[in-house]
Amino acid sequence: MSLAEKQAFLCRLYTDRVFRSLFFSDANRAFNFYKLSDEEKNNLLKIPSSEILSFSSGVSSKNKELIAMNFPKTSNYFGVTFSFYLNRYLDLFKFNKYMTVKQHVINFGDFLLSCLLSDKAENDLMIELADYEYTKLVVAQQYIANVTHNQNYIGKTDQKNLAACSLKPLAKKKPMQADEYVFSANFLIKDYSYNFNLSSLDKIKQSLKDKYTFLFSSKNFQSYLINSTTSSLLTFIRETRSLSKISRALKRSYQSPEQMDNLLEILYRFIDEEVILMEKSNS
């Protein structure tokens, strides 16, 4: 009848999960959407369903893999919930030739965060991880766009900070292994100047269990691993946006001037490194 109709039917069969289910359960109803001759219908019915499923699952898992590899931690530690929202995203937003994988990855990050934030039952840690990985991707994307010509960037900073690592999942199109990450993190509050390396999966798991948060500086592309107290402090700062207000609040909470000085120094450092955006002169 029409080659165009036959191709349209095939394209939908490969990409539309619901339509495929309809075809398998009641092919005539699926055929009703297209102008196909009886011979064409018969030929389509002769394609083994296992092959259709295998091909379409290849298409869909390829797309899923491309997205998930850019959210290595969120997809690794919260696989079930991550897949749930990823399936929903891919049902709603199909891959097309006008959007790059990176654009899809960024869009999915936005979609995932919105879904998680609207779903109150979700794990806070998952939201933080998704936020962290999404922000990292957006920053990396901007950074790549801005410094395309600087070919030494990856070579020079490779393995030295998370910024270089964060570019790799985008560039290499494969997930980073957890033990490839070397966090040069500042352990704040208790001893903010204590630098330590976190390079093993076990340690990362432990840190996640203890609900540490990752922060990412858009200025120097350093990552920070912070504990829950600092996380609360930063949440507070985000809402306040005034250093003098923060100082007063800290004064109420921390009686020791030395402890407060330490906290303010941390804040200054975060301001310097643009982890938070605030004018120092406010104080």
Partner 1 sequence: MTPLCHKVPTLGSGIGYRAAISHSILKHKNEIEVLEVITEHYINEKKSSGVPIEQLCENFRVVPHGLNLSICSPHLDKSYIEKVYEFIKKIKPHYYTDHLALTSCPGIDIGHLSPIIYDYDTLNIVIDNVNRLQDYFGIPLALENITYNFSHSDNCLIYSEFVNNLVDKTDCGLLLDLTNLYINAFNHEFDATDFINHLPLNNILHIHIAGEYELNGKLIDGHCCAVQKGTWDLLSYLMQKAKPAAIILEHDADFPNNFRELLDTVVRAKTYLN
Distance of closest approach, residue 223 Cβ to partner 1, in angstroms: 21
Q: Is 96 in the site for partner 1 (CB under 8 A)?
A: yes
List helix spans (H) across the chain: 3-15, 17-25, 27-31, 38-45, 49-68, 72-77, 79-92, 101-118, 124-146, 152-157, 162-172, 201-209, 228-240, 243-253, 257-272
Q: Is 32 in the site for partner 1 (CB under 8 A)?
A: no
First to last CA, the chain: 77
The residue type found at 95 is: F
Q: Is 178 in the site for partner 1 (CB under 8 A)?
A: no
Q: Which residues on neighbouring strands pair with residue 198, listed in sequence order?
A: 183
Q: Is 62 in the site for partner 1 (CB under 8 A)?
A: yes
Q: From residue 214 to residue 253, what is the string marking binding to partner 1 with x (rule CB under 8 A)? A: ----------------------------------------
Q: Is 151 in the site for partner 1 (CB under 8 A)?
A: yes
Q: Is 83 in the site for partner 1 (CB under 8 A)?
A: no
Q: Is 177 in the site for partner 1 (CB under 8 A)?
A: no
Q: Is 17 in the site for partner 1 (CB under 8 A)?
A: no
The residue type found at 48 is: P
- What is the 3-state secondary structure of 81-113? HHHHHHHHHHHHCCCCCCCCHHHHHHHHHHHHH
Q: Is 51 in the site for partner 1 (CB under 8 A)?
A: yes
Q: Where does this chain bind partner 1 (CB under 8 A)? A: 3-4, 6-8, 10-12, 14-15, 39-40, 43, 46-48, 51, 54-55, 58-59, 62-63, 94-100, 102-103, 141, 144-145, 148-149, 151-152, 154-155, 168, 170-174
